[in-house]
Amino acid sequence: METSKNLILGVYDNPDKTYSVTKKLISSGYSVYDVYSPFAIHGLDRVMGIKRSRLSVAAFLFAMTGLSLAVTFQVYVSYFDWQMNIGGKPSLHIPTYIPITFELSILFTAFGMVACFFIVNRMFWGKNADIMDIRVTDDLFVVAVDTKKSKADLGSLNQLLMDGGAIEVRERTKEL
Amino acid sequence: MSYESPIRDQLVTGGKTYRDVTRDITRPLENAPSKGWWIGFSLSTLVLALWIGATTYTFLVGLGVWGLNKTVGWAFDITNFVFWVGIGHAGTLISAVLLLFRQKWRMSINRSAEAMTIFAVICAASFIVSHMGRPWVAYWPIPLPNAFGTLWVNFNSPLVWDVFAISTYFSVSLVFWYVGLIPDIATVRDRATTKARKFWYGFFAMGWTGSTRTWHRYEVISLILAGISTPLVLSVHSIVSMDFATSLVPGWHTTIFPPYFVAGAIFSGFGMVLTLLVIAREVMNYKNYITIEHLDAMAKVVMVTGTMVGMAYITEFFVAAYSGVEYEQYAFLNRAFGPYWWAYWTMMSCNLLAPQVFWSRKARTTPWFLFVMSIIVNIGMWFERFVIIVTSLHRDFLPSSWTMYTPTVIEFAILFGSFGLFFFLFFLFIKFLPSINMAEVKSIIPTHAHGDHDHGHSHDHNHDLAEKGALHGN
């Protein structure tokens, strides 16, 4: 398994250019490792062939977990474990379980899904960010081309990036 | 098909570039605070001290220092609780509901509105704890196996639902807020010049790199968080209203309460957002981000929701008359014409009549006037809760226990002091975190549509670059 990647970076100052250059690179057979931007560029994920994230499935599963735990717990507590007669109200009364069940489903969904988000992105508190260019969280966009995986000729890559409007092109090694 | 944002009225004025956005919004974080900030922060700290003092006094001496009595067992405490929870609702509404409706004007106000939500819920929770009188047993509503035999909480009680609703609301809002902050915290990290800033912002940025893969997942979870926060915010105030609506007290026992409370919450929340933003855009010089159009849109929401609560007040009256239940009828007549008539008519004029001025565009676009109106709305909504709680309780079925409620100085001090707590947190927020969502604002700065098509307007690009001033890198 490779431990590092050799990347050629094209730095852009405009999301439109970043978008079209990425598209052109991919159609000419280059392998775009990733694109870094200060905000989400809509449609770029599709161009890069990123599959739709399954975090929504995770969210649904967490919601179901919260829902079943809440129902089980309330039924266990108020019916099986210790019945209480409060104003003659029934001990097993499904409609009154709805609010708490709803709240707990939401709680589990939010926390579970966000935890999964951090896990799949390998994000955690205190992590050292391996940023391609310090300006990428400010106003610049970086297209990173993976040299090993690219099938097209690397000689013309520089020209292609510059033609797309790059303000600079450089090499970088990224430790994995 | 990809989503293309249409070029429409500029949401950010002044021809800002991406760099300008970063600079403008990180300025308060990277420089010594202004005089205005110090004045505001010191004042709110003083008021916070009053809150700490009054609350501590209550805990030491007991609830007897409040004006409560056998008949009126809930008054200022629960009024303040409902008031603060209501304030919080605008934040979630702006960030979640407006996200689902793709209202892009939300982007420059959602961060501070969400912060407001969190701080308002903290204030609300403080009243829940203090109204118990014995804060050391505040964990009792949580269903824990305990030492009193197997005595669990009563799941039929809306008060228990409320514990779950408020804590879920607080924690989910916090998560939503934090997730939204991560890209901006990373921006501050990458600009940091001091060691401390580099460390702390780096710590909380969680290694954010701006990768498109991350952005893709980020958009997915933002949408889902918005999707679950929307029913959550509606459920929270519905459950708060059930604290009253499921009882048998005339004036509380009405099915209209949940929608009526939710509308009221949005109304008061937008009132508070206006109060904060009218000041913030002046003091922090954010007029290009929080434009007159933003204020106009918020004023419209205030007008609509104010009219909705006004309609609810009138509906309540009508239903009481139509029901033929004399207790119910008396409760409402007593509200409007009994000893607390002044509270009722304050509520009516502040919430129903006053916002009608917003039919005029001039009124919606004059900042000082909006500020005055926002205070009126807040006063009106505080009185709404006071009217609902106190006037319903002080005269119910049994005339022999009819009585009046008079708040004590301590209760006023706690109410006033809770604003200190709120503003103390808010001032810290604007000093240490970017108070406008930079990443989202950058995405709505006019740029050429970047949809799934080849650009047929490359001649525009030079103009585009000049407009952004972005040609000269760093």
Domain count, chain A: 2
Q: Kindly state whether residues A87 and A106 are assigned to the same domain.
A: yes
Cα atoms in the 13 Å half-sphere on the side-chain side of B235: 26
Q: Kindly state whether residues A62 and A115 are assigned to the same domain.
A: yes
Contacts of B388 (CB under 8 A, 6+ apart): B244, B251, B252
pLDDT in tens, B138-160: 888 888 877 666 678 888 889 99
pLDDT of residue A98: 93
pTM, rounded to two decimals: 0.89
Q: Nearest residue on chain B to A107, judged by CA atoms? A: B168
Show residues of chain B in contact with A125, CB under 8 Å.
203-204, 206
CB contact, 8 Å: A86 with chain B? yes
Query: Does residue B375 carry a pLDDT above 50?
Result: yes
pLDDT in tens, B80-106: 999 999 998 888 888 888 888 888 888
Cβ <8 Å between A42 and B450: yes
Q: How many CB atoms lie under 10 A from the CB of residue B445?
A: 19
pLDDT, mean over chain B? 86
Instruction: Beginning with the edge strand found earlier in the chain, give each strand of the sheet holding A141-146 in spatial order.
Output: A31-36, A141-146, A4-12, A168-175
Cβ <8 Å between A136 and B468: no
Q: Which residues, numbered 88 to 127 in chain A, qualify as contacts with chain B under a Cβ-Cβ cut-off of 8 Å?
A: 89, 93, 96-97, 99-100, 102-104, 106-107, 109-111, 113-114, 117-118, 120-127
CB contact, 8 Å: A50 with chain B? yes
pLDDT of residue B149: 60
End-to-end, the C-alpha distance of chain A in Å comes to 10
DSSP letter (8 states) at residue A157? H
What single-letter amino acid sits at B427?
F
pLDDT of residue B148: 67
Q: Kindly state whether residues A77 and A26 are assigned to the same domain.
A: no
CA dist B37 and B51 (Å) reads 21
Cβ <8 Å between B443 and A74: no
pLDDT of residue B473: 34
pLDDT in tens, B433-466: 998 988 888 888 876 433 333 343 443 444 444 4
Domain extent at residue B176: 18-447
Q: Kindly state whether residues A100 and A132 are assigned to the same domain.
A: no
pLDDT of residue A77: 87
CA dist B117 and B174 (Å) reads 9
pLDDT of residue A102: 95
Query: Does residue B124 carry a pLDDT above 90?
Result: yes
Cβ <8 Å between B473 and A165: no
Query: Does residue B122 carry a pLDDT above 60?
Result: yes
Question: Which residue of A34, A55, A111 is in closest CB contact with B220?
Answer: A55
**Once rounded to an integer, what is the mean pLDDT over residues A14-24?**
88
Query: Does residue B344 carry a pLDDT above 90?
Result: yes
Q: Nearest residue on chain A to B21, judged by CA atoms? A: A138
Q: Kindly state whether residues A59 and A46 are assigned to the same domain.
A: no
DSSP letter (8 states) at residue B360? S
pLDDT of residue B465: 41
Query: Does residue B221 carry a pLDDT above 70?
Result: yes
CA dist B16 and B285 (Å) reads 14
Domain count, chain B: 1
- Minimum mean pLDDT range among A33-37, B11-15, B344-348: B11-15
Report ipTM for this prediction: 0.93
pLDDT of residue B193: 87
DSSP letter (8 states) at residue A8? E
Give me the helices (H) in B284-365, please: 292-323, 326-337, 341-348, 361-364
Q: Do the domain assignments include residue B173?
A: yes
Cβ <8 Å between B450 and A19: yes
Show residues of chain A in contact with B168, CB under 8 Å.
103-104, 106-107
CA Rg, chain B, in Å?
A: 24
**Once rounded to an integer, what is the mean pLDDT over residues B6-12?**
62
Query: Does residue A157 carry a pLDDT above 60?
Result: yes
| CATH number of the structural domain spanning residue B125 | 1.20.1630.10
**Once rounded to an integer, what is the mean pLDDT over residues B356-373?**
92
Q: Kindly state whether residues A26 and A77 are assigned to the same domain.
A: no
Q: Which of A120, A139, A163 is the last residue of a domain?
A: A120
Query: Does residue A95 carry a pLDDT above 50?
Result: yes
Show residues of chain B in contact with A120, CB under 8 Å.
217
Q: Do the domain assignments include residue B9?
A: no
pLDDT in tens, B17-76: 888 888 888 888 888 888 888 999 999 999 999 999 999 999 999 899 999 998 999 999
| CATH number of the structural domain spanning residue A29 | 3.30.70.1710
Q: Which of A99, A120, A141 is the last residue of a domain?
A: A120
Q: Kindly state whether residues A112 and A84 are assigned to the same domain.
A: yes
User: What's the gap in Å between the CA of A53 and the closest CA on chain B?
Assistant: 6
pLDDT of residue B95: 85
Cβ <8 Å between A96 and B443: no
Q: Nearest residue on chain B to A21, judged by CA atoms? A: B454
Cβ <8 Å between A111 and B473: no
CB contact, 8 Å: A159 with chain B? no
Q: Kindly state whether residues A19 and A63 are assigned to the same domain.
A: no
**Once rounded to an integer, what is the mean pLDDT over residues B131-142?**
86
Q: Which of A100, A120, A140 is the last residue of a domain?
A: A120
Q: Do the domain assignments include residue B3?
A: no
CA distances from A61 to A110, A112, A116 (A): 11, 9, 12
Q: Do the domain assignments include residue B310?
A: yes
User: What's the gap in Å between the CA of B373 and the closest CA on chain A?
Assistant: 34
Domain extent at residue A97: 55-120
Q: Kindly state whether residues A59 and A96 are assigned to the same domain.
A: yes
Label residue B82 exposed, middle or buried (CB < 10 Å: 0-12, 13-18, 19+): buried
Contacts of B345 (CB under 8 A, 6+ apart): B336
pLDDT in tens, B269-318: 999 999 998 988 888 888 888 888 889 989 999 999 999 999 999 999 99
Cβ <8 Å between A131 and B220: no
Q: Nearest residue on chain B to A164, judged by CA atoms? A: B458
Show residues of chain A in contact with B215, CB under 8 Å.
37, 39-41, 45
pLDDT in tens, B377-433: 999 999 999 999 999 999 988 899 999 999 999 999 999 999 999 999 999 998 899
Q: Do the domain assignments include residue B335?
A: yes
pLDDT in tens, B167-204: 999 999 999 999 999 999 999 998 888 898 889 999 99
List beta partners, residue A35.
Answer: A143
